[in-house]
Amino acid sequence: MPTGADNTLDSARTVVLVEGVSDQLAVAALAARRGRNLLAEKVFVVPMGGATNIGHFLDRFGPNGANIRLAGLCDEAEVHVFQRGLAQAGLGDAPTRAELESRHFYVCAADLEDELIRALGTATVEQILDAHGDLTAFRTFQQQPAQQGRSTAAHLRRFMGTRGGRKIHYAPVLAGALRPDRVPGPLEDLLDAV
């Protein structure tokens, strides 16, 4: 959370609600690559600790709370949670993905890691794992019986979630490795909206 008199949520122009810290760090890394300082712009990316907490955050920052401009990012599996939360918070129905996105809430298919892996390609992600000392662990993971018959992209996505802190570590690293023309649509759209 931001601290200091000029960087508190009370001074926010926009609050971007994301599911977790890895999403927060990826958005911040991409913004920085674009030369943007979100804190200076009074745009705060707030991890909610899971999509199901959206109601609490919409109550705090939405029209019945601080009435701050809102945006967000969610996983495909959590679209219904975000749709229900927006409706209950008085932000209107968003029964389709297009309507959700018209309210500046963008959907990662299937999740942030999947978007980043597809944008970078599996070979690049494996090179990044190697540079961070995780390629041997990844190769061991791929040999597990439960992983047989799955794609390398599926292995990478699952590997990111196998150890606490791995998603948090790799989200900004992967986001920072993206070429400007390969930024996943939901992240590009979110940064354009805020």
**Alpha-carbon gap, residue 83 to 184, rounded angstroms:** 22
> Would you say the C-alpha torsion 80, 83, 89, 93 has a positive or negative sign?
negative
Local confidence band at 38 (pLDDT 50, 70, 90 cut-offs): very high
Read off the pLDDT of residues 156-171 as tens digits, 9 standing for 90 and up: 999 998 888 999 999 9
Read off the pLDDT of residues 23-32 as tens digits, 9 standing for 90 and up: 999 999 999 9
CB of 53 closer than 8 Å to CB of 26: no
Which domains does the chain show, CATH number per domain? 9-111+180-193 (3.40.1360), 114-170 (no CATH)
Average pLDDT over residues 83-98: 89
Which helix (H) or strand (E) segment is 75 a member of? Answer: strand 69-75
Side by side, the strands of the sheet bearing 43-47 are 43-47, 14-18, 69-75, 105-108
How distant, in Å, are the alpha carbons of 15, 23, 91, 191 from that of 36?
A: 16, 17, 28, 10
The predicted structure's pLDDT at residue 6:
46
**Alpha-carbon gap, residue 153 to 138, rounded angstroms:** 12
How distant, in Å, are the alpha carbons of 94, 106, 116 from that of 176?
A: 32, 20, 10
**Alpha-carbon gap, residue 152 to 66, rounded angstroms:** 44
pLDDT at 12 over 60: yes
Local confidence band at 7 (pLDDT 50, 70, 90 cut-offs): low
> Would you say the C-alpha torsion 20, 4, 36, 104 has a positive or negative sign?
positive
The strand pairing partners of 16, in sequence order, are 45, 71
Tokens of 51: 């999509």
| Global confidence as pTM | 0.91
% of the chain with per-residue pLDDT over 70: 96
103 class by beta-carbon count within 10 Å (0-12 exposed, 13-18 middle, 19+ buried):
middle
